[in-house]
Structure 1
């Protein structure tokens, strides 16, 4: 048994033991993998598939876990050559493996399989589920495994020459000529046994250098060698030009349909093969002695660049210069009026034809019948029908050249359709003005088809605008402008032309009044729940329909002003002519004492005795500063502190008051001691440092013993080291301290403890 298959079975059995044989297992489809072919000797799993008519049998191993339904089928599918399953190919289908959790598909490669990135997958049909895709594999069906035959393009000899003389500086094309449908294969070209990668992978290559050239079918890195398709070599030598050229023709500007002298090579040898080209396209295959070529001027595509190539024994392959042949009878005609023209009964339509040629004649036709005397570039049509002009060259080399203009269809309308539009972007109850116009006029024909005649007839109509069905005096143009809310309503326009009358579609107009609605308040901060703020407007609301809103919710009050005691966003909306006129918004905020900021650190101020400290406040509209005896010190946003003590500032925000306190103390004038006497006599028993280093919460004090061990680490040091219980085993012990502000070291030194 295949070791991989044996392992898969073991895994499955263990899974059943863990879950219990009566468990309902979720269906799992595993990734398909290549398997050994039991019909071949040995035990070898394939890694690439090189199929052919004599061998095309491969196996795929597939494992899964139950359960599936009794009508389930497993389907093996193959991707395209890029690994995509957009249009998968079915390789195999089995219906008898619904209790076989580890089995193998047998399949054959489709005959058009050629690529390096094919993948497999397996589908179950009941329930429908798809496995993960397999790894990518190189897979080729070798349907052509004969030696390739190559030749110089144009060499029709049997057999073709295996040695080519190529003129210095020239090029020639080598081609594979014995493969059916050669464009469906890829090819590997070699020059002097090295890959000729610049040539691409097609069935032909262009060469300009000497060397030995061979080709093989590209069946991938694994399969190409087993196909044995490599061709015999063709040797390319560089020779000397024999001076091939085309003789200058008598005329290069030819007329359609006329006969001219053929193009002629300057070398006339019956044993040389001549291949004629127009551009890069062969127009006459290689033919012995065919040193001339007749241009067929009846072919509309005859203009172009013509050249000839010669091949033969004793000379190098050479291509002549190109001669450019043009059509002297080329000219353009145009119809300079609309393709469809509508005329009213008894009216006329002016038809216009033109040409880029200087000397032409015109003849007009109606319904493919010549109109006698209609020989001008213009024609006035007074009847319905299909018209065109025949334009003929009357001067130059090609006087017989004729072209017809495109056809113009002239019709009578059955009715007209008027379509109105807003002239600019418009939204109900947003715009304060708008204009409406006749944007399009369609002529409606008897069969119901419509033709846009706006440009031709818009100015010919007379108009009458209506609002809500009533005529608007003096509104008689193709547009109307509306600037007032009193003009709100439904608008139509009636257009009249001769005996035709048409009423347009309806457009509704709801303009917003251009007046401004403003509300104001007695404050914007609520101090407490018992306080109120008044919101009002100077706009008269008597007789108006209006609503007050808080945070977008209708307050359903008919009061013309509001007294509010809750924070929120307030707005007034007045209904004007069916539209909502919205006021500005007023935001009422709750009192937030954090809005008041003092220029102190942790509400503490330290300054030198005999000096002063300026303290400032911000965030309020007015301030009052008091000392601890409630004496007013300042009523501005700053105060000068000269004494230690407790202080308070009372700040006013709108109609609210906020009080904040702080303390002031003198800066210590003593330094940091380096000796203490911890003998319990109450004098100098503890290490006392200046307030500068103890008040700031960001300053840390760290003390180490003589071994570098940390014995104290404290922010806002309490001047309490050493504690009374701390023992000192030796006299005159030395400790080390560091005072830091974040990563910055402010002070460092030693402390000697004397017992």
Structure 2
């Protein structure tokens, strides 16, 4: 067990106390934290993970409390790059740590790990519970560490040009072309050594300005430096525009199937290279002499904005303004029923089509064969097959246009499969109530395949909930709510529809009793080794199975009252209907006499003779003030003193007593002397200061000779300078003194020593 586990254990216990929790379920899982790699020299707790084929070994530490099932497994999971666990990745799974409250997971980064906000969490399987998420971490698997190659998009020569001439006001695209799966990486682009982020972080950027451009793979702030992927630079120069445009088309609004003249660039040179775009996407890659483009109006996606880019020796790269091509005679059609429909034998179902145009005609098809006479918007289908309708629009600027709706597959089921689940998050012996519901209905077809029909058919079935093989009276809806431990058991759902009868999967239910178990202690403190506290509960434990815990450890006692002589955190568990009902936690603390305070807090209190000083105490249940002769002065929290001397306070906190002494002195009324007659006659032989400067441990007295050398430097000056054995070579010697505390100089002056 690691030395810091006790600290983590106490922290976990105190966290529950702070939250006021009376039950903690079966366990407490703490969030995982980075840990030292024992296979590396020194302390190697990581702050960012940079994995690769040559190194990919990391550790996280995990702590938990207090018990899990013997066959429990702990699972370490990794979030996605945004810190979300919707599709968590399992990194490690252990089954031999069910008695180790503090251990390390070993894991390797998946090869697709790239991001700055990854998090960890740990799940247990028995009981099912999930830890809090870890802090976020920068994590990258460096699987590509070769120099990147860049070129102007469309330059497919074996050795692309490293200089591009761009027309003024035009644009071109630079791209990385030597990275497999290039779209899965982030890239850092630079122009003249400055970050160039206006086009994002993809493998290509659109540029409009002159400069030198380079790119590197983005492996985060920590990992990028070790990947060495920065490309050579490509120079972009800006020249004069040649006025590239697309010649105005004869017709811009086209009908489906219409034959039209191709689009043509106004620069029609066979030695130049042309790239055609629709809506900004390449539809014809760079090709020499391809200054025309034919639009296929039979392609339903032909409408859009078309443009062309020209490249070649002696001209600057330029892209034309777009030409908009639209579709004439546009209308839409839709299928007004699900894509898959289950039809019970002997029944029929109705299929529907619709359109936003008028007038239209319909023709229905089954298995791609036209159905004679079925020319309405609805079709009654009485056999299995694949159905769709063709919708035709006549008139307007275009000839007849026809569109097909999406297909509907109609099938007969062999049987149905039902799956039920908990309606909300559920943990055995944790929830006090839960609802069960239908999660999914599948029609099982003759070939064994399944078709989900939950939304279509769940209202068509008749239902009966079953507990431990017996029908639950009155439970005939799609859901069942369970609210007390008397309903614990194994549940299933029987569903019937005509001749079909299906029984769902089983779900076990073990609710925790909805009652509280409260313990109290006779005293909150242990004053000394002989003190005892009695911890008990008003709940009748007679005949019950119960256990006492101290600091999360089971105590070997079976008494209904617990007598404790040691400080600790105590808790009681009682078995109720197969579950462990856990009490609140009671903390019996070692007594700390700092709980009782005296104000003023100084051990020596000074006030002028003839006046008085009010002294108060705090933190106890009762107080007694005594003189140094043990004469009782008072028994309240506050007392007023008029005489100097030594005083004592005896304060009681429950059964614990605290004794504190302090000294009261009269404040001196004389000032700081400036003459000392060090002749040994017993009068004025030493430099004596008022109590104000000698009793406070924070006040520093310093004396210097005429050379500026320290001859005394003392806190809580003892009024003992000069000492009897000191020699003074001159009759009248002058010394200098400074009296100060930590914040300021309180007094400065001279001392003349006459011998």
Structure 1, unaligned stretches of length 5 or more?
Answer: 1-84, 88-135, 141-172, 209-235, 311-317
Highest CA radius of gyration, 1 or 2? Answer: 1
Q: Does 1:585 align with 2:585?
A: yes
What is the distance in 1 between the residues matched to 2:610 and 2:731? 41
Q: Does 1:645 align with 2:645?
A: yes
Task: Map residues 445-524 of structure 1 onto 2, 5 A cutoff.
Answer: 445-524=445-524
Aligned-pair distance for 1:577? 0.5
Question: Aligned residue for 1:159?
Answer: none
**Cα pair 2:276 2:293 within 8 Å, conserved:** no
Aligned-pair distance for 1:522? 1.5
Question: Aligned residue for 1:182?
Answer: 157
Provide the TM-score with structure 2 as the length reference.
0.64
Aligned-pair distance for 1:563? 2.2
Q: Secondary structure at the match of 2:458?
A: helix
Question: Aligned residue for 1:381?
Answer: 381
Question: Aligned residue for 1:714?
Answer: 714
- For residues 545-589 of structure 1, the C-alpha deviation after alignment (integer angstroms, 9 at most, x for no partner) is 222222222223232212222211111211111111111111111
Assess, with a 3 A threshold, how the Cα gap between structure 1 residues 741 and 384 changes in structure 2: closer, same or farther: same
Question: Aligned residue for 1:256?
Answer: 256
Aligned-pair distance for 1:653? 0.7
- For residues 440-479 of structure 1, the C-alpha deviation after alignment (integer angstroms, 9 at most, x for no partner) is 1111111111111111111111111111122211111111
Question: Aligned residue for 1:620?
Answer: 620
Aligned-pair distance for 1:745? 0.8
Task: Map residues 291-690 of structure 1 onto 2, 5 A cutoff.
Answer: 297=297, 303=303, 324-690=324-690
**Cα pair 2:306 2:324 within 8 Å, conserved:** yes
Aligned-pair distance for 1:721? 0.7
Question: Aligned residue for 1:732?
Answer: 732
What is the distance in 1 between the residues matched to 2:505 and 2:257? 58
Q: Secondary structure at the match of 2:373?
A: coil
Assess, with a 3 A threshold, how the Cα gap between structure 1 residues 672 and 581 changes in structure 2: closer, same or farther: same
Aligned-pair distance for 1:332? 3.0
What is the distance in 1 between the residues matched to 2:585 and 2:240? 92
Aligned-pair distance for 1:400? 2.6
**Cα pair 1:492 1:503 within 8 Å, conserved:** yes
Structure 2, unaligned stretches of length 5 or more?
Answer: 1-51, 55-144, 176-205, 209-238, 311-317
Assess, with a 3 A threshold, how the Cα gap between structure 1 residues 688 and 283 changes in structure 2: closer, same or farther: closer
What is the distance in 2 between the residues matched to 1:474 and 1:577? 24
Q: Secondary structure at the match of 2:432?
A: coil
What is the distance in 1 between the residues matched to 2:169 and 2:302? 37
Aligned-pair distance for 1:433? 0.6
In the comparison of the two structures, how many residue pairs are matched? 545
Q: Secondary structure at the match of 1:617?
A: strand
Task: Map residues 56-135 of structure 1 onto 2, 5 A cutoff.
Answer: none
Q: Secondary structure at the match of 1:512?
A: coil
- For residues 489-528 of structure 1, the C-alpha deviation after alignment (integer angstroms, 9 at most, x for no partner) is 1111111111111111111111111111111121111122
What is the distance in 1 between the residues matched to 2:257 and 2:594? 99
Q: CA RMSD in A?
A: 4.6
What is the distance in 2 between the residues matched to 1:711 and 1:499? 112
Assess, with a 3 A threshold, how the Cα gap between structure 1 residues 463 and 200 changes in structure 2: closer, same or farther: closer
Q: Which has the higher contact order (CA 8 A, sep 6+)?
A: 2
What is the distance in 1 between the residues matched to 2:308 and 2:605? 104
Aligned-pair distance for 1:747? 0.8
Aligned-pair distance for 1:253? 3.2
Assess, with a 3 A threshold, how the Cα gap between structure 1 residues 722 and 417 changes in structure 2: closer, same or farther: same
Aligned-pair distance for 1:260? 6.6
**Cα pair 1:189 1:201 within 8 Å, conserved:** no
What is the distance in 2 between the residues matched to 1:700 and 1:306? 88
Q: Secondary structure at the match of 1:594?
A: helix
Question: Aligned residue for 1:53?
Answer: none
- For residues 109-140 of structure 1, the C-alpha deviation after alignment (integer angstroms, 9 at most, x for no partner) is xxxxxxxxxxxxxxxxxxxxxxxxxxx99999
Aligned-pair distance for 1:406? 2.0
**Cα pair 1:247 1:265 within 8 Å, conserved:** no
Q: Secondary structure at the match of 2:374?
A: coil
What is the distance in 2 between the residues matched to 1:329 and 1:548? 82
**Cα pair 1:189 1:197 within 8 Å, conserved:** no
Assess, with a 3 A threshold, how the Cα gap between structure 1 residues 262 and 703 changes in structure 2: closer, same or farther: closer
Assess, with a 3 A threshold, how the Cα gap between structure 1 residues 640 and 450 changes in structure 2: closer, same or farther: same
- For residues 564-616 of structure 1, the C-alpha deviation after alignment (integer angstroms, 9 at most, x for no partner) is 22211111211111111111111111222222222245521211101111112
